[in-house]
Structure 1
Amino acid sequence: MRIALIADTFPPLRTSGAVQLRDLTREFVRQGHAVTVMLPASDLPEPWRLEDYDGATILRLKAPQTKDIGYIRRTINEFIMPFSMAKQLKKSPLANERWDGIVWYAPSIFHGPLISRLKKISRCKSYLIVRDIFPEWAVDMGLMGKGMPYLFFKAVARYQYAVADVIGIQTPGNRQYFKYWIKQSGHQLEVLQNWLAEPAQLQCSIRVNQTSLAGRKVLVYAGNMGIAQGMGILLDLAEKLLNRTDIGFLFVGRGSDLNRLKASAKTRKLDNTLFFDEIDPDEIPDLYAQCSAGIVALDFRHKSHNIPGKFLTYMQCGLPVLANVNAGNDLAEMIRQERVGQVCETNEPNELLEAAGKLLNQLDADPELSERCTNLFRRQFAVEKTSRQIVSALMS
């Protein structure tokens, strides 16, 4: 198939979305499909730029900046983004290309107008990969009420859903958000699990045995540290385990809460806790090889279901997990069913402490724990399965 893949993140960015889209692109190419990835780029001096990326064509299209700016300006620029991309596409060598299928990734929720135009030109089906149910999660977190901004974002999201022929959601629990959409004839909703390919093996710049955590069982958190993660309770846990000189906590990444977490750890004198900046995704396996378990954190106010990319990386590398997630999240049931770690759904520090104790005991007493993790990854989260599922839906 000739596949157009539209997103707003891709390498050299290091976000989990960029890594996922890199892996999906490579797998489409490996399976013999011709792939063109279209991306907005605010730093281009020209209207468009073509690149080759491991056999795929990357078309970067000049558009307003949407990252690392204020909310109001970001909203305006994201609204303009698809129209700007469509305008620059007309100037590019791919202006007259036709596609057999269009795939796009949310976030962002603003790609609808561009997808609609591409569908009309190519007369093909489209597949929307939904990883972020916005604006609902922002309301859950108390970042937004149900006033005019919410209604605006809701309308934008609904338009995006209306353009899609198939929507892939992360977990069965998220079906409730698409009840109205399923009723419309001709639409298909399916669970599309998160995915990862096998990463390259780069030596990690972080050497745990050269830090104050040397010789300890290290619980690692690698990823975004923002409001949606609700990570304050992890420092509560670290404080409760200060007397355990055999246990350490390692936080690696970036995010809006990072400085606050660092300051809190310093104030509490958490000498069992270290923070490091974001690393190359291909260094992750070597980092995890130095650790005993991975940490998953989702703010308890979430009502939607989410299986974070970091959970996949833990499973891929055979690391069991300690998870603090919102009550009823499908991820909690998966961890329990597959016996790949321990979960707290109450957001209570003492219950998280109890779960951590159980996991630490499990690390010593369960020799098959790591193998169950890797088996779960291969069975549910391998990128080969994801790419075939998307292609099958586009061709049906």
Structure 2
Amino acid sequence: MHILIISDSYPPEIRSASDLMYECAQELQRRGHRVSVMTCWPRYNLEKSAENIGVKEFAIEEGVEVVRVKTLRHHKVNYIYRGIAELLMPVLFKRKAKKYGLMQPDVVLVYSPPLALTLLGADYARRGIKFILNVQDIFPQNAIDLGVLNNTMAISFYRAIERAVYRSASIITTHSVGNQHFLQNAFPDYRHKIVDLPNWIDLVHYQAKGASNFRERYGIATDKRVVLFAGVLGPSQNLDWLLELATNLENENLLFLIVGDGSDKLCLQQKASDLSNVMFQDFVGRGDYPDLLAASDLGIVSLSEKNKTPVVPGKLLGYMAAKMPVFAVLNRESDAHGLIEEAKCGVSVAADQSALIAEKFTELLHKEMQWDEMGMAGYEYASSHFSKEKSVSLLEQLMECSNES
């Protein structure tokens, strides 16, 4: 099959969507499919060493055709500008699809968000091409919950796009059963085509290579226990609770290492300016990320209590693949609570239970002798439930089924 993957991010950008689509493209290509990727020009979440690397509009990268499209900026801008930028994406992407002969694939797989980009998938569907929609964050619901989207006309507009795209899709995949049920309840007419497709993780990639000594690079003493949060720093994450922990535990032999960027980074840095046990660093590239995890002792996962959808943060799977125990503070609705409990890979607390956060974290610190056991339990769970080969096989079956229907 000729499979076209459409996503707003792809390496060298650093984010879970980028890794997910890269691993998917590589595995499908390895299985003998012709794989093309259309993505935005890399501008965000870049490792410093990658910022000045030449990027081409079209390139063959490890056997995959990659087309990069210059769009308006859609991160680190105000929400009105971002909305306009995202609405223009399907138009700009379609122009490049025509230019590079990508108008007649057998199957198109579109990653959401951004929701507006999925309109391109609907356009392919209108011409008889099978359209698989991979829903990660449920937009606009998550933006409504966070208070980012509160204009009734804008909400109605995005709801109309959501309905139109869901109607057009041959198959809609979600990354957990909770998300599947959420969408099935919200869109009962389409429940028959909403399926659970767990996100995957390349377990081999996450074994540390030892090429980058991050403790030495960052000047971290070898006897320090490193508590790591790596990822986007925005309103959806709400890391204020982590700084409160750092304040209360400043005399402990702990370092809270926050690696990433986002709209909340400057504010968090200002709040932590007097804390000697908090360190901020820039994004780390995909190749070095496993070594960063290996240099850390405990992985942090965080979602604001304002989130009301069952989303499972992608970084959780990375921690599990790296055999790291986790401490998670998440909205009650997140499916990650059940996942962590079932995998026995750490501790999770509801984000609205502020009094319990410090208590549960302290309990976990006192169980340090069990951290290796928790990390291994997480790895084994990821191996049996989230392996790249298993999930991509299911996706491939959905594509073939979709293509025959």
Could you state the TM-score of these two structures normalised by the residue count of structure 1?
0.90
What pairs with 1:253-268 in structure 2 (closer than 5 Å)?
253-266=260-273
Pair 1:176–1:93, CA change in 2 (3 A): closer
What's the CA shift for 1:152? 1.4
Which of 83, 103, 108 is equivalent to 2:109? 103
Asked if the contact 2:13/2:42 (under 8 Å) is kept, the reply is: no
Task: Give secondary structure in 2 for the equivalent of 1:368.
Answer: helix
Contact 1:194–1:381 (CA under 8 A) maintained in structure 2: yes
Are positions 1:204 and 2:212 aligned together?
yes
Q: In the alignment, is the contact (CA less than 8 A) between 1:161 and 1:167 conserved in 2?
A: yes
Task: Note closer, same or farther for the CA distance 1:213–1:302 as it changes in structure 2 (3 Å cut).
Answer: farther
Amino acid at match of 2:358: L
RMSD: 2.3
Distance 2:3 2:383 in 1: 25
In 2, distance between residues paired with 1:202 and 1:160?
Answer: 45
| Structure 1: runs of 5+ lacking an equivalent | none
TM superposition shift of 1:12: 1.9
> Residue 72 of structure 1 aligns to a residue in which SS?
helix
Q: Which residue of 2 aligns with 1:250?
A: 257
Alignment of 1:1-396 (within 5 A): 1-41=1-41, 49-90=57-98, 92-94=99-101, 98-121=104-127, 123-145=128-150, 147-174=152-179, 175-184=181-190, 187-197=192-202, 198-199=204-205, 201=209, 203-204=211-212, 206-207=214-215, 211-244=219-252, 246-266=253-273, 269-365=274-370, 367-396=372-401
Of 80-89 and 300-309, deviating more is 80-89
Moved more, 353-362 or 58-67: 58-67
CA shift, 1:394, in A, is 1.8
User: What one-letter code is carried by the residue in structure 1 that aligns with 2:164?
Assistant: Y
Q: CA deviation at 1:356?
A: 1.2
Q: Deviations over 1:90-122 (max 9, x none)?
A: 2x2415x5322111100110124322332344x
List per-residue Cα deviations over 1:158-190 (Å, max 9, x = no partner). 2222221111112222222333534248x5111
Preserved contact between residue 105 and residue 128 of structure 1 (Cα < 8 Å): yes
Cα 1:156–1:26 shift into 2, 3 Å: same
Partner Cα separation in structure 2 for residue 238 and residue 209 of structure 1: 22
CA gap 1:227/1:340 in 2 versus in 1, 3 angstroms: same
User: Quick one: percent identity of the two aligned structures?
Assistant: 28
TM superposition shift of 1:69: 3.1
Does the 8 Å CA contact 1:209/1:215 hold for their aligned counterparts? no
Shift of 1:366: 5.9
| Conservation of the 8 A alpha-carbon contact between 2:298 and 2:325 | yes
Distance of 1:88 and 1:161 partners within structure 2: 24
Q: Is the 8 A contact 2:133 2:172 kept in 1?
A: yes
Query: Could you report, residue by residue, the CA deviation over 1:186-226 in whole angstroms, capped at 9, with x for unpaired residues?
Result: x5111122222233737336325863554121111111111
SS in 2 for 1:370: helix
SS of residue matched to 1:253: strand
Residue type matched to 1:30 in 2? R
Deviation at 1:143, TM superposition (A): 2.0
Q: How far did 1:234 drift?
A: 0.5
Aligned residue identity for 2:276: D
**Counterpart contact for 1:105–1:129, Cα < 8 Å:** yes
Q: Does structure 1 retain, via aligned residues, the 8 Å contact 2:228–2:256?
A: yes
Question: Would the alpha carbon gap of residues 74 and 339 (structure 1) be closer, same or farther in structure 2, given more than 3 Å must change?
Answer: same
Structure 1 window deviating more from structure 2 (232-241 vs 10-19): it is 10-19
Q: Using the TM superposition, name which of 311-320 and 111-120 deviates more.
A: 111-120
Name the CA shift for 1:250/1:64 in 2 (closer, same or farther; >3 Å). Answer: closer
TM-superposed CA distance for 1:295, in Å, is: 0.3
Q: How many residue pairs are counted as aligned between the two chains?
A: 385
CA distance in 1, matches of 2:149, 2:97: 34
Instruction: Using the TM superposition, give the Cα deviation of residue 5 of structure 1 relative to its aligned residue in structure 2, in angstroms.
Output: 0.7
In terms of mean alpha carbon deviation, does 376-385 or 199-208 score higher?
199-208
Contact 2:309 2:333 in 1 (8 A): no
2: CA distance between counterparts of 1:329 and 1:113? 27
Query: Which amino acid is the alignment partner of residue 300 of structure 1?
Result: E
- Answer yes or no: is the 8 Å Cα contact 1:249–1:272 preserved in 2: yes
The gaps in structure 2 that reach 5 residues or longer are 44-55
Once superposed, which parts of structure 1, at least 4 consecutive aligned residues long, lie more than 6 Å away? Answer: none
